[in-house]
């Protein structure tokens, strides 16, 4: 790329950022980083009636959480409003725009009148002369109207009978017949530009090299190109990203789909300032920002290889607008979850997971988490056996071993607690159904024998003895593994959940294992 890459993410602060908007931000960020360019945040807040308190901060927080911060801005169009009027006037002077005085009621009347005749009302060369504007009215009338204080707007004068050529990096070349374009409002009498004018003026003044935005803006491209032509400015290059589609069926992904199918469509939780309604966010649902970025990148782009897991750095290196496709990208909430699971299982380190889990343990229990062994922090996962006779303290290594044993079953950090609560609190009741099925008359004796057996062993000996020794013991006793394992699990867990029972013993340690078995023998009556 030989020009200086400057891209912008230009959301309107009308509510929380939808993941579609976040995907647009991400693609802008990746493109900027790839080309050593600048990623600008521009808040397009010219429509004051749609302004929502807190939305701008939300957008900034979401970008930061995803680790895709902007490096210029935020610019706010409301703070730049003095800039735009002169550009609207410049277009009037050059004959590319005009004043229009039609009231809302008059325009409504024309619309309905056309409808009744089976036609569509378009404000352009078809009927400009029949309407109230500075093309149809005399110079004097126009002056009087402008001075009268009545409302007026400035409209763009769309050319007649021209074929416009448009270019899009993703969609290729397109042609448009200008006769179908209406004369869009550029400036309103409240002193505010509309989106179209402010957007083009800012892209020009901010020297934006590439406009990367959602497909919903494609219909505006013709007007934008015409505006660049009218100003005599070089247009940036355009890339319109494919829509993000519902998980099933037709149409764009909406918040309602998320509510219906139980997944967030926002990066962060959002509380509507007017209604107080709270919408779920990926962050609060326990997603890693890296996983969110990873699945968002695949909504409309693919690397052309089998690789699915990408760090942000790898995305920057491999991202290419040429590889963004035109067709709508179907959003798959299961895939999003799969990414998070993958990150828990293979990408996040035990240290990171331990740090993320500790606040939950502290919320749910009275334990103080201590780090007994700084030099080997988290490392000796299998070798250390902890005697947890003191329930007030938990060693970090213990938490790490617990996580190690359950993480394959977790999709989110929030799953950790329900998968592992029994490691932190001995069961105080036993699943009735399971007791009925698994706790036989001879079970207490078998459990007692098992206590005697593990009492014999030096838990600190090696890391692999347990599976082998238990197997040998069962063989000598002529007992099937299931006959031991299921009631044993009941003793240790209180139900039939949890990782492999030997693993549970290994993590709980000898004393705690024996304590729990004894308690169960004394408590369970079947
Ligand atoms: N303000 C527009 C939006 O809310 C920006 C569209 C563009 O990027 O040109 O998406």
Residues 465-519: pLDDT tens digits?
788 889 999 999 999 999 999 999 999 999 999 999 999 998 898 889 999 999 9
pLDDT value of position 469: 86
In ligand 1, the atom with minimum distance to the C-alpha of 213 is 8
Banded model confidence at residue 460, pLDDT cuts 50, 70, 90 = low
pTM of the model: 0.87
CATH 1.10.10.350 in the chain, residues? 432-523
Mutate to test the pocket of ligand 1, among 27, 193, 213, 216 (most ligand atoms within 8 A of CB): 213
Instruction: Name the residue at shortest CA distance from atom 5 of ligand 1.
Output: 10
Ligand 1 centroid to residue 63 C-alpha, Å: 16
Banded model confidence at residue 456, pLDDT cuts 50, 70, 90 = confident
CA 205 to CA 211: how far, in whole Å? 14
pLDDT value of position 403: 95
What is the residue-averaged pLDDT of the chain? 92
- Residue % of the chain over a pLDDT of 90: 82
Ligand 1 centroid to residue 456 C-alpha, Å: 71
Instruction: Name the residue at shortest CA distance from atom 2 of ligand 1.
Output: 11
Mutate to test the pocket of ligand 1, among 22, 44, 75 (most ligand atoms within 8 A of CB): 44
Banded model confidence at residue 310, pLDDT cuts 50, 70, 90 = very high
pLDDT value of position 379: 35
Residues 2-12: pLDDT tens digits?
679 999 999 99
* Contact yes or no for 50/77 (Cβ under 8 A): no
CATH 3.90.800.10 in the chain, residues? 81-241
Write down the catalytic residue from 188, 255, 377, 483.
255
Ligand 1 centroid to residue 213 C-alpha, Å: 7
Is residue 12 lining ligand 1, measured as CB closer than 6 Å? yes
Residues 196-224: pLDDT tens digits?
999 999 999 999 999 999 999 999 999 99
In ligand 1, the atom with minimum distance to the C-alpha of 44 is 1
Banded model confidence at residue 395, pLDDT cuts 50, 70, 90 = confident
Q: Is the C-alpha dihedral spanning 156, 157, 161, 164 positive or negative?
A: negative
Is residue 199 lining ligand 1, measured as CB closer than 6 Å? yes
- Name the CATH topology of 432-523: Arc Repressor Mutant, subunit A (1.10.10)
pLDDT value of position 385: 34
Residue 74 main-chain phi, psi, to 5 deg: -75, 135
Is residue 202 lining ligand 1, measured as CB closer than 6 Å? no
In ligand 1, the atom with minimum distance to the C-alpha of 14 is 4
Q: What is the 3-state secondary structure of 345-404?
A: HHHCCHHHHHHHHHHHHHHHCCCEEECCCHHHCCCCCCCCCCCCCCCCEEEHHHHHHHHH
Summarize the confidence of residues 177-194 as an average pLDDT: 94
Instruction: Tell me which architecture the domain covering 81-241 has in CATH.
Output: Alpha-Beta Complex (3.90)
Ligand 1 centroid to residue 74 C-alpha, Å: 14
pLDDT value of position 387: 41
Active site residue 255: yes
Burial pattern 57-73, b for ≥16 Cβ within 10 A else e, equals ebbbebbebbebebeeb
């Amino acid at each position: 790329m030989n020009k200086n890459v400057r891209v912008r993410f230009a959301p309107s602060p009308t509510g929380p950022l939808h993941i579609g908007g976040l995907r647009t931000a991400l693609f802008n960020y990746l493109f900027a980083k790839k080309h050593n360019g600048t990623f600008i945040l521009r808040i397009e807040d010219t429509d004051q009636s749609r302004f929502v308190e807190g939305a701008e901060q939300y957008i900034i927080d979401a970008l930061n959480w995803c680790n895709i911060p902007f490096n210029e801005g935020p610019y706010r169009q409301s703070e730049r409003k003095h800039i735009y009027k002169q550009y609207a006037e410049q277009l009037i002077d050059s004959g590319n725009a005009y004043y229009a005085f039609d009231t809302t009621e008059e325009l409504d009347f024309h619309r309905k009148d056309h409808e009744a005749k089976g036609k569509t009302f378009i404000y352009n060369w078809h009927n400009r002369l029949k309407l109230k504007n500075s093309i149809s009215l005399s110079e004097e009338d126009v002056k009087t109207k402008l001075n009268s204080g009545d409302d007026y707007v400035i409209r763009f004068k769309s050319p007649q009978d021209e074929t416009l050529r448009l270019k899009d990096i993703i969609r290729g070349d397109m042609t448009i017949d200008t006769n179908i374009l209406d004369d869009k409002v550029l400036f309103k009498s409240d002193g505010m530009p509309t989106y179209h004018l402010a957007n083009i003026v800012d892209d020009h003044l901010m020297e934006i090299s590439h406009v990367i935005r959602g497909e919903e803006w494609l219909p505006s491209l013709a007007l934008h190109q015409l505006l660049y032509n009218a100003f005599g400015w070089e247009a940036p290059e355009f890339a319109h990203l494919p829509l993000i589609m519902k998980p099933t069926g037709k149409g764009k992904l909406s918040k309602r789909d998320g509510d219906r199918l139980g997944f967030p469509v926002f990066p962060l939780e959002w509380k509507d300032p007017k209604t107080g309604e709270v919408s779920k966010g990926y962050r609060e649902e326990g997603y890693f920002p890296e996983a969110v970025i990873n699945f968002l990148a695949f909504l409309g782009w693919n690397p052309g290889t089998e690789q699915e897991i990408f760090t942000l750095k790898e995305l920057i290196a491999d991202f290419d607008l040429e590889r963004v496709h035109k067709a709508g990208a179907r959003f798959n909430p299961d895939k999003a979850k799969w990414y998070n699971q993958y990150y828990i299982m293979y990408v996040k380190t035990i240290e990171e997971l331990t740090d993320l889990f500790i606040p939950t343990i502290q919320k749910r229990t009275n334990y103080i988490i201590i780090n007994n062994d700084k030099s080997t922090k988290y490392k000796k996962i299998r070798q250390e056996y902890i005697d947890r006779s003191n329930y007030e303290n938990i060693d970090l290594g213990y938490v790490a071993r617990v996580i190690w044993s359950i993480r394959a079953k977790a999709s989110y950090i929030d799953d950790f607690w329900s998968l592992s609560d029994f490691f932190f609190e001995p069961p105080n009741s036993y699943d009735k159904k399971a007791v009925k099925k698994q706790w036989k008359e001879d079970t207490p004796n078998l459990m007692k024998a098992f206590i005697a057996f593990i009492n014999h062993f030096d838990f600190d000996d090696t890391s692999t003895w347990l599976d082998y020794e238990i197997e040998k013991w069962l063989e000598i006793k002529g007992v099937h593994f299931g006959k031991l394992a299921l009631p044993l699990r009941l003793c240790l867990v209180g139900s039939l959940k949890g990782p492999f029972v030997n693993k549970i013993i290994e993590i709980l340690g000898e004393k705690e294992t024996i304590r729990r078995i004894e308690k169960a023998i004394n408590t369970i009556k079947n």
